[in-house]
Structure 1
Amino acid sequence: MDNRSRRAGSSSNLVYWASSFPRQPARVLVVEALPPAWADTCAVICDAMDNFLSLACNVDGPCRIPLLSLYAISRQQECLLPFVKVRGNLARLLSCVDELRSIPGEGCIRGVSRAGELLQQAVLDSLQQFKQYSRHTGAGSQAWSNLSVEVTVVTSQFGRAIVRQLETGLKDTDLVSLRRLLVLQIDGAWDWAQEIPSPEAAQSEDSLMLGTEVELQRVENSVLAIETVLKVWLQEQGGDREHLHLLLPSDNPNPVCVKCDMQERLISPALIPLTPNLGVKTESIRDFLPVAKGSTNQSSAPQKLKAIKTLRADGVCESVLYGLPLIIRPTTCWQLDWDEMEANHHLFLALCHTLRTQELFLLLQADPSSAAGASGVNSHYLLQPSMSLSFLLKPVASRELMLPSSMPVSAQDPSPDAMQTVQVTVTPFKHEYCMSHPVLI
């Protein structure tokens, strides 16, 4: 799985994120494994963790998750995994997930309030464990002195009740090292008959204000939903300074500066060890051809790409595409006879015309049988028709590499002063650029 030595001399460092992830927190995951809900959530949570850890442990580049600890709440609180480094520890992490998976999903519990106490105790224990680990491991280390911890509590109970218990139980606790405490409520149809709110609790429900230390998020009981929450851990958690300055021309000596942050949309395929045909590099046709096993020469067999779905052209998001595209044209190989070449030309033309007139793209998957040493991770490509007799072939990131990105539509209008500033700078700038660079427009 490890091809870092093979990439050591390459330019793969160019795909690293702009920052070095200097402020990534340690992570604690507290999983509630209580019946009756655990019978339905066990496989979902554990499958999501398996998928996430398989990616997180193999991502090259700067460290995204320095430490991870795992707690399980069943009949008692149990620390399945003390703080360990994530990178290079996949086998140990997956064995802890297997241990979590083995917790029985049937039985009875001694009241929901008892479960809330165990969750609270697990949070307190994780904070104490982090403090001790930091003291013993990072003595004199500036990096460790700046490290914080984030705790995620996964529960199938009513999230607001858990938040209320945690806020009450932690109000007198030293939370200086705690950056964030998230309660993740998994929605489902299980029956928590013991937790019917009292009239007093129901009256205060609407006025409940979540504290700055405790946040509540609800997700559906699906592998994808929970996996998406975990993938937030792979994104930069800095915020110490802005990442990008957009400079707009101005009549004043100093340009108008718009300060921005940058966020990754996907994990670069160049940072994970995969089969050569993934298309990590897309600078030439050689990068799309499989390598013959035991040979440094490119295989003479053509790469096979299988169409698996048509996509609406206006429904494709550019953020899931990476690398440089290749132009695809009908073959002129001299080894084909004239009739076969002509028939192939008409098929190519028909495909190009059909996709273009119906405004469709074609999603392609690399045929595993044509990839030497296939590992179960398949390459995907997008075939985009053009006005000429050709296609563009673009690599598409698989779901495993995509990071969470929720950008809601803003209902806020800009202020009149800001609108005037931007319009004065952008409008004449656009006209001048069109005249001086007509080809680029």
Structure 2
Amino acid sequence: MNSRKVTSETRRGFPGTKARSQQPSRILIVDVTSPLWTNTCSVLAEALENTLCLACSLAGPCRVPLLSLYVVQNQQECLLPFTQVKESFARVQTCISELRSLPREGCFPQEGNGVVQAVQDGLQQFKQYSRHTAAGGSTNSSVEITILTSQSGKEMVKQLEEKLKDIDLVSLRRLQVIEVLKRDFLEPENAEQSMPADELSSDDTAILGMDIDVQTVEDNVISLEMLFKTWLHDYGTDREQLHLLLPSGGFSYATAAKTSLICLKCDLQERLLDPALLSGTADGTVRTVDMNSPCQMAAWPATVLYKLRVIKALKSEGVCESVLYGLPFIIKPTSCWQLDWDELEINQHSFHALCHSLLKRNWMLLAKCEPQNTSPSWNIVVHSYYIIVPSDSATLLVKAVAVRELLLPSTFPALLAEHPERVRGPIESALNGLEVEVTYNPLHLKNNLYKYLKSVLHRPLNRQQAHPRDQRPERHQPKQHQSRAKATVAPLLMAPSPVQVFRPAAVRRDSCEHSLLPEEDDEILHVLQ
């Protein structure tokens, strides 16, 4: 990653951002004015539904707090006004169903400023929603906009640059243009798609005093799913998350003074979602990760500054996998926006030098986690230890390692040098029949987790229908079909614009235009006007 790019993305202050782990609200704008929409529609809907069922099922703070979705045909159209995702999976599914039902002929003209109008409208709706919720103490001061299009990303940026130069973008944290590329060939229906998750080509175009992130992605489920899964990462950059402490005099821990330490400021990132945060979340039996546990670090939410002091270097071949446990985390140079440019640059170069030197020496590092609480009332401190593994991707991998107190006795018999042919022959024959892969690709394995989570998310709704007495109806709540989406806040009309309208009622039978202005929101709309 280019160091200048890191700074341009992270040095911008985000007005009103108070919590380091506060996730931004999100606006997804889907441009369907292309013949490629025929191929993209189904894979986009599946990828979006898969990601959002994860977001709704994860215990702990919601990683996608607010979502709004627009489609652009010959004009922009809001399919999903800002919605709190975690408690609204049925509503999200209704929106995705509408997305699937859009015409797939790609007959809409590629003209006009529908995408730009959707950006403007989304920002206006976000401001309105923020004002509406601020009175209740719930604030979310930044929003990220992702535009999916089959048009040229650079041409899209030119349109945005020209039309948004006079628009107030103070609440816009990031604007991302994703150019969806057609596959060279169509895979069989059940073929595995193995587009690497991290190989999205990207470029940054600086306009409007900010960066527009331009990326390309193939129109298959896995690629789009991995794009949406970036929403699940922690986006807090107010402070670094980890200090990696190295003795400045070398790796001799006994001779290094505590005052002479090299401090690399880093961030933690999850490599995997913790399955314990997913199973049984519907009935509330799963608790969030205990970040105060002496044997557990947590990369999300980043509410603790960890300090790992390196105490020894280990030869890579001398570490047995059986003594490593827990989920792995990725360590990378911090992108904290509060650090000066010079400090960010030096810190990043130092981190890369450490990775390079460890690979050259074939070393791992053994590190001890410094105690979080230094209060005198803590007479006994339980330490946890971690193995740090280098990578040629300019990142480090960290995993917890067993200590004496946790280790169970075990004996390992020596491997026999010779085996009878009558035993060895069938084993060799069985092994010869296996398909051999050079590397393990987790994208080739799936365990029906998405189907399971969707069924779990539907269970509370089914119970509510079975026990209507437990539900207290809202005042003046009209009867609505369950497949209809319902707006939380009535849309606020923008400045006069001939193309900025919502879908007329006669466009499609499943449209959600009636839900945009429900009867119980009439009073709110009257006040806002």
Q: What TM-score do the two structures reach when normalised by structure 2?
A: 0.46
Q: Does residue 1:57 correspond to 2:56, yes or no?
A: yes
Match runs of 1:273-422 below 5 Å? 273=279, 375=452
Q: Does residue 1:255 correspond to 2:261, yes or no?
A: yes
Structure 1: runs of 5+ lacking an equivalent: 1-19, 191-207, 276-280, 282-317, 331-341, 369-373, 378-441
> How far apart are residue 91 of structure 1 and its match?
1.2
Residues of 2 paired with 1:40 and 1:53: CA distance?
21
More helix by share: 1
Residues of 2 paired with 1:230 and 1:134: CA distance?
23
Match runs of 1:149-228 below 5 Å? 149-188=143-182, 209-211=205-207, 212-228=210-226
Q: Cα deviations across residues 76-105 of structure 1 (Å, max 9, x unaligned)?
A: 211000001111211110110110110011
AA aligned opposite 1:95: T
> How far apart are residue 25 of structure 1 and its match?
0.2
Q: How many residues are aligned here?
A: 280
Contact kept, 8 Å, 1:151 with 1:182, in 2: the verdict is yes
Residues of 1 paired with 2:446 and 2:101: CA distance?
36
Alignment-derived partner of residue 96 in structure 1: 95
Alignment-derived partner of residue 194 in structure 1: none
> How far apart are residue 257 of structure 1 and its match?
1.3
Match of residue 127, structure 1, among 108, 112, 123: 123
AA aligned opposite 1:82: P
Q: Cα deviations across residues 399-435 of structure 1 (Å, max 9, x unaligned)?
A: xxxxxxxxxxxxxxxxxxxxxxxxxxxxxxxxxxxxx
Q: Cα deviations across residues 4-45 of structure 1 (Å, max 9, x unaligned)?
A: xxxxxxxxxxxxxxxx86321000000012241211111111
Describe the SS at the equivalent of 1:61.
Answer: coil
Q: Does residue 1:118 correspond to 2:124, yes or no?
A: no
AA aligned opposite 1:173: I
Residues of 1 paired with 2:411 and 2:432: CA distance?
16
Q: Cα deviations across residues 120-143 of structure 1 (Å, max 9, x unaligned)?
A: 0000000000000000112263x5
Match runs of 1:417-428 below 5 Å? none
Alignment-derived partner of residue 136 in structure 1: 132
Change (3 A) 1:319 1:259: closer
Consecutive aligned runs of 4 or more in structure 1 exceeding 4 Å deviation: 318-330, 345-355, 358-368, 374-377
Alignment-derived partner of residue 108 in structure 2: 109
Q: Cα deviations across residues 250-276 of structure 1 (Å, max 9, x unaligned)?
A: 45633221111111111110110269x
Contact kept, 8 Å, 1:58 with 1:88, in 2: the verdict is no
Residues of 2 paired with 1:367 and 1:108: CA distance?
36
Residues of 1 paired with 2:213 and 2:153: CA distance?
10
> How far apart are residue 188 of structure 1 and its match?
2.2
AA aligned opposite 2:172: L
Change (3 A) 1:270 1:77: same
Alignment-derived partner of residue 245 in structure 1: 243
Describe the SS at the equivalent of 1:184.
Answer: strand
Alignment-derived partner of residue 314 in structure 1: none
Aligned-residue CA RMSD in angstroms? Answer: 4.7
Alignment-derived partner of residue 234 in structure 1: 232
Describe the SS at the equivalent of 2:175.
Answer: strand
> How far apart are residue 70 of structure 1 and its match?
0.5
> How far apart are residue 63 of structure 1 and its match?
2.0
Residues of 1 paired with 2:399 and 2:237: CA distance?
27
> How far apart are residue 160 of structure 1 and its match?
0.7
Q: What TM-score do the two structures reach when normalised by structure 1?
A: 0.54
Change (3 A) 1:149 1:352: same
Q: Cα deviations across residues 362-408 of structure 1 (Å, max 9, x unaligned)?
A: 9999999xxxxx9599xxxxxxxxxxxxxxxxxxxxxxxxxxxxxxx
> How far apart are residue 147 of structure 1 and its match?
2.4
Change (3 A) 1:363 1:245: closer
Change (3 A) 1:261 1:351: farther
AA aligned opposite 2:168: D
Residues of 2 paired with 1:152 and 1:72: CA distance?
12
Residues of 2 paired with 1:237 and 1:149: CA distance?
12
Q: Cα deviations across residues 337-373 of structure 1 (Å, max 9, x unaligned)?
A: xxxxx9xx98998799999xx99999999999xxxxx
Q: Does residue 1:87 correspond to 2:93, yes or no?
A: no
Residues of 2 paired with 1:222 and 1:248: CA distance?
44
AA aligned opposite 2:160: L
AA aligned opposite 1:228: M
AA aligned opposite 1:59: L
